[in-house]
Structure 1
Amino acid sequence: MGDIVAWVIATIVTIPLIGWYIIYITTVKISKNKSKSIRLASDWTTVLFMAAVYFIMVELWEKSFFWIILALFFFIAILFTWIHWKLSGDIETSKLFRGIWRFNFLLFFVVYLLLFSYGLLSRIFFS
């Protein structure tokens, strides 16, 4: 039983699109609201995409780039906070956190797709 759970978790971390799709389908069935379901699935799987990017980078280059991922996350948070403060003069934390989190989802989703494609093509043509 433990092997099955470990396999499911490893698959979802390795292929976060499956996790995103599972969350999306579940929330659509419950809420009947597709746009809300997309946002919820994106919010819940941001960490999965971050983990997938980390593990793909480790696999491709055999180095840990965790500090770069963490630094990028905090740089985006600082930049968003500064822009939000400049535009509105006051910081609305819930709106700010939501924007930071969703931007990180988009960023890591794109990086995941790029690294996945690069890794796949490099293993096909250069191994």
Structure 2
Amino acid sequence: MSEVVAWVIATIVTIPLLGWYIIYIFSAKMSKNKSKSIQRASDWTTVLFMIAVNFIIVELWAKSFLWVILAVFFFVALIFTFIHWRLAGDIHVGKLFKGIWRFNFLLFFMTYLFLSGFGLLLRILS
């Protein structure tokens, strides 16, 4: 049984789109609200996309750039905090964190798609 659980977790981490879809389906069935389900799935799989981007980078270049991924995450947080402070004059932590988290989802989702395509093309041409 533990092997099955390990296989499911490994699959979801290495294929975060599958994890996103599973969370979306589960949330949509429970809440009956598709837009909230998309948001929940995106929020819950941000870390999966970050890990997947790291694994793809390791596979392509045989080096871990986890520190760069974390630096990008915190740089985005810094920029968002500064912009939020300049526009609102006051920092609303919940709203700020949600914006940071969702922007990072979009950033790492796009990076995941780009690196997946790049890796496929690289393997086809070599």
TM-score, shorter chain, exceeding 0.5:
yes
Instruction: Tell me how far apart the structure 2 counterparts of residues 2 and 70 of structure 1 sit (CA, whole Å).
Output: 30
**What percentage of residue pairs aligned between the two structures are identical?**
71
Where do residues 16-95 of structure 1 align in structure 2 (5 Å cutoff)? Answer: 16-95=16-95
Instruction: Tell me how far apart the structure 1 counterparts of residues 65 and 94 of structure 2 sit (CA, whole Å).
Output: 29
Give the CA deviation at 1:121: 1.2
Instruction: Tell me how far apart the structure 2 counterparts of residues 3 and 65 of structure 1 sit (CA, whole Å).
Output: 29
Instruction: Tell me how far apart the structure 2 counterparts of residues 40 and 6 of structure 1 sit (CA, whole Å).
Output: 23
Instruction: Tell me how far apart the structure 2 counterparts of residues 70 and 25 of structure 1 sit (CA, whole Å).
Output: 29
Instruction: Tell me how far apart the structure 2 counterparts of residues 56 and 5 of structure 1 sit (CA, whole Å).
Output: 22
Instruction: Tell me how far apart the structure 2 counterparts of residues 17 and 113 of structure 1 sit (CA, whole Å).
Output: 10
Runs (4 or more) in structure 1 with deviation over 3 Å come to none
For 1:47, the aligned partner's letter is V
Structure 1 residues not aligned, in runs of 5+: none
TM-score of the two chains, using structure 1 as the length reference: 0.97
Count of aligned pairs between the two proteins: 126
Give the CA deviation at 1:2: 2.1
TM-score of the two chains, using structure 2 as the length reference: 0.98
Instruction: Tell me how far apart the structure 2 counterparts of residues 54 and 10 of structure 1 sit (CA, whole Å).
Output: 14
Instruction: Tell me how far apart the structure 2 counterparts of residues 119 and 14 of structure 1 sit (CA, whole Å).
Output: 14
Instruction: Tell me how far apart the structure 2 counterparts of residues 19 and 64 of structure 1 sit (CA, whole Å).
Output: 23
